[in-house]
Structure 1
Amino acid sequence: MLGSNVPDLDVERRRALIVEKGGDRAYWAGEPLHTDSGAGRAVKTGPVGSGAVAKVAIMTTPEPADRVLARASLAEGDPTGWFDRLYTAAARGEAEVPWTRGRPHPDLAAWARPGEGRRALVVGSALGDDSELLSAHGWAVTGFDVAPTAVAAARDRFPRSTVDYVVADLLNPPSAWHRAFDLVVEIMNIQAMPRDFRPAALTSLASFLAPGGTAIVSEVAEENQDMANWQSPPWPFSRSEVESVAQDGVRLVGLDTVRDGARYWATFTR
């Protein structure tokens, strides 16, 4: 069985090899593989078998699981499917989700305003920390994630929460969300998509904002990164990409850099 002879490695060295059901081949960063279970490693080329069950094997590799999974998913033309695979592996203790902190994002916590019952939407709600922060400030919060495993985990973490945690896809959102939210929060999610997919994602983002509402967008700032040596994901944003949220009646209020210039923090209104 895949991974049966892989040692229990220190958590800081754990990385995932994903063998996906859905064909007769497995993929490592988009390349066909078969596994050498005796050595606990992957070898390029070779069939796995169409009946293979999706399995995560722990192995030592210089790359984090999110990068490996993202490349495999993108090779299949799926820009978001790897999120649930990563959360599933993390739930088994076999990988780490790099953006989970166990607490609200500090920049959002510093910004937080009273909601007074107004509607808020958290994009990529993950394990629920940002959604719960806004709920505690009086917002009627919907937190959505494309990963069902993440949504289930958030519900389990906060069983008495008033937040509506739902599974949804930013690239194909519910029509009922059109101009429905007084606050829209997007912090470091769309940057996990390559640029080809971003225009559609940013159009969806702008569409959620109600007249008079506020949208917050924060992403890694390309202009202050060493892009020649950058390893993705995430794929940092250019300033013009952030500004492009201003569409269909949405306008930019302010665009700053935070974290010593490492990230953009932008606000919009309609």
Structure 2
Amino acid sequence: MQAERKASEWFEDFYKQNKNTHVNIPWARQDVNPLLQTYLDEKTEHKGRALVIGCGLGDDAYALANTGYDTLAIDISQTALDIAQKRFEGAGIHFEKQDIFDMPNKYFEHFDFVFEALTIQSLPREFRTKMIKAVANSVAKEGEVLVVAHKKQLGDGGPPWPLTHVEIDQFLNNNLKEISFNLITEDSNISNTRFRILYKKTV
């Protein structure tokens, strides 16, 4: 609990320090994540309830809402949410300060589509199993979750803490089946490979 609180405080302080200019927020591209955009381009139907975990400045939530999803965007930083809400006022996005570890019961198996990008790796490895289960619990039966994460390489330190193949396979232990699996090569000082995996809730 103390480690979770420290993480929350760190992100809140970081967003406060960068609320007037966003160029120093390394994960905030101020555009939709291209790996999410690929999913949206491939889908022929965009409807139902969507969740963006760790929404940051809100671009991914906007992309989902703009294609027809009833979208909830959550973050542990109120400052991030305030920035996102101001940027996308009138877009029909629901912004809430929520901790994925302590989501209200009404959100259990509630969302037809969940987008999780880089949030799991932002917490130390001792939270990995708990975090993966929390993400999986938010997915409705027959719903999908798209997971984007850096792949661990030898010598990787933290933060962030990239995922191993064994760790990301824990999603399969939470009533999810793998629909597609991709390794994306990129030039990054975190890891030169990202997982892009689409799962579907089976029961």
Q: 2:85 aligns with which of 130, 155, 161?
A: 155
How many residue pairs get matched?
193
What code does the residue aligned with 2:159 have?
Answer: P
Asked if the contact 2:147–2:198 (Cα under 8 Å) also holds between the matched residues in 1, the reply is yes
Q: What does residue 139 of structure 2 align with?
A: 209
Does structure 2 conserve the Cα–Cα contact (< 8 Å) formed by 1:131 and 1:141?
Answer: yes
The change in CA–CA distance for 1:132 and 1:96 in structure 2 (over 3 A counts) is: same
Q: Which has the larger radius of gyration?
A: 1
TM-score by length of 1: 0.67
Please give the TM-score of this superposition, normalised by the length of structure 2: 0.87
Structure 2, unmatched stretches of 5+, are 187-191
1:80 corresponds in structure 2 to 8
> How far off is 1:251 after superposition?
2.1
The answer to whether residue 64 in structure 2 is matched with residue 134 in structure 1 is yes
Secondary structure of 1:142's counterpart equals strand
CA-CA distance at 1:205 after TM superposition: 0.3
How far did residue 92 of structure 1 move? 4.8
- Tell me if structure 2 keeps the 8 A contact 1:216–1:268: yes
Match of 1:194 among 124, 132, 147: 124
Aligned pairs (5 A) from 1:83-94: 83-93=11-21
| Contact residue 123 and residue 161 of structure 2 kept, 8 A | yes
Deviates more, 1:106-115 or 1:136-145: 106-115
Tell me the distance in 2 between the aligned counterparts of 1:191 and 1:101.
Answer: 18
Classify the secondary structure of the residue corresponding to 1:264.
strand
Partner secondary structure for residue 132 of structure 1? helix
3-state secondary structure, aligned to 1:98? coil
Counterpart of 1:117, as a letter, is K
Question: Which sections of structure 1, spanning at least 5 residues, go unmatched?
Answer: 1-72
Mapped partners of 1:135, 1:252: distance in 2: 25
Change in 2 beyond 3 A, CA 1:78/1:114: farther
* One-letter identity of the residue aligned with 1:256: N
Q: What's the offset of the Cα at 1:118?
A: 0.6
Alignment partner of 1:238 is 2:168:
no
Asked whether 1:255 is paired with 2:181, we answer: yes
Contact map agreement 1:242 1:266 (CA 8 A) in 2? no
The secondary structure found in structure 2 opposite 1:245 is helix
> What's the Cα RMSD here?
2.1
Q: Which has the higher contact order (CA 8 A, sep 6+)?
A: 2
Instruction: Name the structure with the higher helix share.
Output: 2
Matched, 1:106 2:34: yes
Task: State the match for 1:173 in structure 2.
Answer: 103
What is the CA–CA distance in structure 1 between the aligned matches of 2:50 and 2:85, rounded to whole Å? 17
